[in-house]
Structure 1
Amino acid sequence: MKLIIDSCSDLSLEHAREIDAEVLPLTIQIDGDSYTDQIEISSEEVLQTIKDGKRPMTSQPNPEKFVSIFEKYVKEQESILYIGFSSGLSGTFQSSMIARDTVLESYPDAEITLIDSHSASYGLGMIVERASSYIKQGDDDESIIAKVNADIEQIRHLFTVDDLNYLAEGGRLSKGSAFIGSLLNIKPLLHVEDGKLVPIEKHRGLKKVFKRMTELAKEEGAAGRGHIVHADAAKHAEDLKQQLLDNTGLDNIEISSIGPTISSHTGDGTIALFYFKKGH
């Protein structure tokens, strides 16, 4: 089974190669120029563009790109598992569905499984990492698919952003949900629900947001591995990591930067925590 993902998993290209996952990159447009996610533009460059007052736009891989990559492995008689960025946040998954139907017209016996992760950033990344481990340990296709779907039910996204209005303007959050708090240093706590970004609480300052993230992780029995991503907020990410190590069952927490595509929609100052709930 060949694992295919898109660049919204926020796995580095090097890490994707290590786990034998092929990455379909999204595209970022700035001032009429197009850049391939992670290949032609970095997260730091995206964030600098935003600081310069520009608005990066992103576009999903078109169905033809999916067709090309699907056909490559179908011709090698490999089954395919594509785990995609949440359909509630992008049309990328829809492109994959169109492509699968196209490929099946020419190769009716092809085995192409598409799974909507209902996840974003390293929430998707952690699901992909587990999928890779199931493939490597030799699980049959049916078992792999069942385990991935179970993982999707248990992955938790908790994050905060500096500016909810930036998310709303980019269409990733309803304008009605973008409550104003910047004047009072109010920080939102958001999660992903049914594949969409949803503000759940608001707190005065980052310390209280981090305390609440830690409380939720403890309440939900988070243990073992967790992952934190950030957009130009490395020190804050380290602060959150230490709180989690001191107060929860999470004892293996990695930190990385949010990828270029996701950064285009969140802006700088974003910090997100991902873990699997108790017993998973």
Structure 2
Amino acid sequence: MTIQLFTDSAADLPKDLVQRYGIEVLPLMVIDGDKEYEDNVTLEPAELFRGMREGTAYKTSQISYQALYDRLIPYAEKGQSCLYLAFSSQLSGTYQTGTMVANDLKEHYPDFELEVLDTKCASFGEGMVVLKTAELAAEGKSMAELVEAAGFYAHHMEHIFTVDDLKYLLRGGRVSPIAAFIGGILQIKPILDVEDGKLIPIEKVRGRKKVFQRMIEIIRERGAALDKQTIGISHGDDLEAAEQVAAMIKEAFGTPEVLITMIGASVGAHSGPGTIAIFFLNRER
């Protein structure tokens, strides 16, 4: 029996790939005042970004204990092994909730094989780890092999991204009010990274064209076998920019495949419209 893969909606996986590999996706919650939505289920990303452009300030919350328990218990009852690849524990409590649920389920179903892995990744970086693991699961690899592979991909997955408007990072406490104000006036675009699961600003560049060029340079500096690996791009409702960056990547490195997806509502509520994020491996496995 194939090991069942779980992840959360913060992985920003395209629906066609979710269906192809039979991945179970657990929705994070997005909150607008007294209204609560399930990410990518009752609130589509395009609707969220439209609302943000009109001034709506969304909040998010992690997957509840009960929701995760209810999704996992049918697999425990039939004894099917499961692997949950979770959103970075530095950005959400979802991994900790997954660990609690796993421990409780194993008390009642001691033979249930369930592993929960903190990917320390976000958005399609997490999604790329899930996809690479799903390919191996489809080949019938063991749990130990999947955990080892997922751990490798998670550890070596680079996240390089920029946001179009600093006010969304300001709202999340990622930049100071003064930096956001000056950045908006001067059109300064930050380049950010995720290191050990945490959001880290690494550079500031003036102008969007220059920021894309610098992102390509960073990929060249950090990437491994760029002419062989698949690279991922997620965007905040800006497909045109994502396709432009994809073309730049293919021209610069001869990359055979660049997967493009829209950032989901749970991540997009913090990064904002116009975000462009690139995900690639810095080491071959």
Please report how far the alpha carbon of residue 168 of structure 1 lies from its aligned counterpart in structure 2 after TM superposition: 3.6
Counterpart for residue 118 of structure 1: 120
Counterpart for residue 104 of structure 1: 106
Quick one: distance in 2 between partners of 1:248 and 1:125? 22
Please report how far the alpha carbon of residue 193 of structure 1 lies from its aligned counterpart in structure 2 after TM superposition: 0.6
CA contact (8 A) 1:245 1:251 kept: yes
CA contact (8 A) 2:230 2:255 kept: yes
Structure 2 residue 15 is matched with structure 1 residue 10: no
Counterpart for residue 234 of structure 1: 239
- 1:5-51 residue CA offsets vs partner (Å, 9 max, x unmatched): 11111013342121111111111111211111111111111012112
Unaligned stretches of 5+ in structure 2? none
Query: How many pairs were matched up?
Result: 279
Higher mean alpha-carbon deviation, 81-90 vs 240-249, is at 240-249
Please report how far the alpha carbon of residue 150 of structure 1 lies from its aligned counterpart in structure 2 after TM superposition: 0.6
- Alpha-carbon spacing, 1:199–1:178, altered in 2? closer, same or farther (3 Å): farther
- Alpha-carbon spacing, 1:176–1:73, altered in 2? closer, same or farther (3 Å): farther
Higher mean alpha-carbon deviation, 202-211 vs 247-256, is at 247-256
- 1:195-228 residue CA offsets vs partner (Å, 9 max, x unmatched): 0111100111112211111112222233331111
CA contact (8 A) 2:166 2:184 kept: no
After superposition, where does 1:64-213 map in structure 2 within 5 Å?
Answer: 64-171=66-173, 173=174, 175=176, 180-213=182-215
CA contact (8 A) 2:166 2:175 kept: no
- 1:108-161 residue CA offsets vs partner (Å, 9 max, x unmatched): 232111100101111011100011111111111111111110111111111000
Counterpart for residue 280 of structure 2: 275
Quick one: distance in 1 between partners of 2:161 and 2:179? 14
Counterpart for residue 246 of structure 1: 251
Question: Which residue type is aligned with residue 80 of structure 1?
Answer: C
Counterpart for residue 28 of structure 1: 30
- 1:55-114 residue CA offsets vs partner (Å, 9 max, x unmatched): 111111111112122211111111110000111111111111111121122122321111
Quick one: distance in 2 between partners of 1:111 and 1:233? 41
TM-score, structure 1 as length reference: 0.94
- Alpha-carbon spacing, 1:247–1:134, altered in 2? closer, same or farther (3 Å): same
Higher mean alpha-carbon deviation, 232-241 vs 84-93, is at 232-241
Quick one: distance in 1 between partners of 2:32 and 2:177? 27
- Alpha-carbon spacing, 1:210–1:41, altered in 2? closer, same or farther (3 Å): same
Quick one: distance in 2 between partners of 1:50 and 1:20? 32
CA contact (8 A) 1:13 1:38 kept: no
Structure 2 residue 268 is matched with structure 1 residue 266: no
Identical-pair percentage: 35
